[in-house]
Amino acid sequence: MAGLKDKLYSKIQEWRPRTTRLLKEYGDVKVDDVTISQIIGGMRDIKCLTTDISYLDPMEGIRFRGFTIPEVLEKLPKVPGSEMPYVEGFYYLLLTGDLPTDEDIKEVASEFRKRQEVPLYVIDILRTMPRDTHPMTMLSAAVVAMQRESIFARDYHKLNKMDYWDATYEDSLNLLAKLPQIAAYIYRMKYKGDTIIYPDKDLDMGGNFAHMMGIDTPYDDISRLYFILHSDHESGNVSAHTGHLIASALSDIYYATSGMINGLAGPLHGLANQEVLAWIQDVIHSMDGKIPNEEEMKTFVWNTLKSGKVIPGFGHAVLRKTDPRYTAQREFCLKYLQGDPIFKFVDLLYKVVPPILLEQGKAKNPWPNVDAQSGVIQWYYGVREYDFYTVMFAVGRALGVTANIIWGRALGYPLERPKSLTTEMLEKAAGIV
């Protein structure tokens, strides 16, 4: 058994009694009340999921295994000559809760390298799809097509429940190793005249992705940062929760990840990063290429709101302050993108949008989220096909979703099955019928 898997197994064994004890001895302890507005309103804030991979505080933002984003970026070992950590080391942290050594990272990188060859039939499927198919549809189709590779599905009838996590771990590593290549393949096939760049087995995950995209440094660091920042945001968001829900039926990692990708593809979730750039381009287009000044920008924001649309990249279901994933990317922009017109535009939005959302009085959180800033960096480094942005979000999100599913299986989380009530039952509960 390899080092990471050994370590993971010993962590699982340590953890299992905690979950068992909570369930057996304290199963009746009440954690939350549920109101009608929560039932009708998308289950906001109901405390009914558990994960140890990440925790989202409304004011502080995300912590991965207890570490804030600045801590993760500072403490994880860096790729030599780069400012950003290895994605491989970050995955080690998500899985085990421990910071990896250089040796640990080498081992994860070598596992990914061994497993990175994409089956030819996946390429055939992608090539058969009409080229104007959305890249998220292509990614989702590629992932679900690989379901036949699932070790968990193949061995399910032979497996002991206590060992489900092991086959799920194998499936996860097999899938994660291939995702950057599938994503870059979609990009080069769809937008770069089919000029495919094959992987360089000597590079780390982020470096290899940049290489296969055909974009020079510091795009390798951007890719590392991007995959890390987008990896996990607790379990309740649409993509993470979809992955968890599908996996709870003991569907394998391929089914769960494909479903996760479909949830991420919605404009209120991951697709917002594409929407931000599309919205900015619309504004610039309607100004004949000129960047609007502050007053003009305010008018555009109000016009968008008055037309009944949301301002993409702003607001959040949990956060109540500026998203630290936004801040981490903004810091990168301040260093590398000073003077870039689109960055100036986004910066102006940061100034203009929150007071307008506050004045409008609807959004509970007027501050920017991760999607407000990520497209700008991609645009600057030449990825101007903004419908591709969510694909990179999905590659990152797969790190968190798979880590959660492996742990869910290890701790024996059951089928998810909340209870529904009828409208009349709610009216009765409210005492109005």
Tell me the catalytic residues. 269, 316, 371
> And the tokens for 5?
């898997």
**Span between the terminal Cα atoms of the chain, in Å:** 62
Q: Compare residues 237 and 242 and give the one whose CB is closer to ligand CMX.
A: 237
Q: Compare residues 148 and 362 and give the one whose CB is closer to ligand CMX.
A: 362
> Rule CB under 6 A: is residue 316 a binding residue for ligand CMX?
yes
Residue type for 371, please? D
- Provide the minimum distance between the beta carbon of 330 and ligand CMX in the complex, in angstroms, as a whole number: 15
- Provide the minimum distance between the beta carbon of 58 and ligand CMX in the complex, in angstroms, as a whole number: 11
Which range binds ligand CMX by CB under 6 A, 95-103, 306-314, 400-408, 419-427?
Answer: 306-314
Question: Binder to ligand CMX among 351, 362, 384, 428 (CB under 6 A)?
Answer: 362
Total residues in contact with ligand CMX, by rule CB under 6 A? 21
What single-letter DSSP state applies at residue 200?
-
Question: Binder to ligand CMX among 199, 206, 263, 270 (CB under 6 A)?
Answer: 270
Distance between CA atoms of residues 142 and 407, nearest Å: 25
The residue with tokens 């009708």 is 40
Write the DSSP assignment of 331-395 as a string of letters: HHHHHH-TT-HHHHHHHHHHHHHHHHHHHHT--S--SB-THHHHHHHHHHTT---GGGHHHHHHH
What is the per-residue binding string for ligand CMX in 240-269, x denoting contact by CB under 6 A?
Answer: ----------------------------xx
Which range binds ligand CMX by CB under 6 A, 163-171, 193-201, 315-323, 328-336?
Answer: 315-323
Distance between CA atoms of residues 210 and 191, nearest Å: 15
Q: Compare residues 73 and 240 and give the one whose CB is closer to ligand CMX.
A: 240
- Provide the minimum distance between the beta carbon of 108 and ligand CMX in the complex, in angstroms, as a whole number: 26
Which range binds ligand CMX by CB under 6 A, 54-62, 69-77, 118-126, 311-319?
Answer: 311-319
- Provide the minimum distance between the beta carbon of 256 and ligand CMX in the complex, in angstroms, as a whole number: 18
Beta bridge partners of 67: 64
> Rule CB under 6 A: is residue 272 a binding residue for ligand CMX?
yes
Which range binds ligand CMX by CB under 6 A, 118-126, 287-295, 312-320, 381-389?
Answer: 312-320
Mutual angle of helices 164-191 and 102-114, in 10-degree steps: 70
Distance between CA atoms of residues 8 and 135, nearest Å: 34
Question: Binder to ligand CMX among 311, 349, 376, 394 (CB under 6 A)?
Answer: 311
Distance between CA atoms of residues 27 and 420, nearest Å: 21
* Closest among 433, 338, 418, 428 to 39, alpha carbons compared: 418
Cβ-proximal residue to ligand CMX, closest one: 315
Beta bridge partners of 56: 62
Distance between CA atoms of residues 325 and 393, nearest Å: 12
- Provide the minimum distance between the beta carbon of 325 and ligand CMX in the complex, in angstroms, as a whole number: 9
Angle at 178 between CA 196 and CA 136, to 5 degrees: 75
> Rule CB under 6 A: is residue 328 a binding residue for ligand CMX?
no
- Provide the minimum distance between the beta carbon of 302 and ligand CMX in the complex, in angstroms, as a whole number: 11
Site residues (vs ligand CMX, CB under 6 A): 237, 268-270, 272, 305, 310-317, 362-365, 369-371
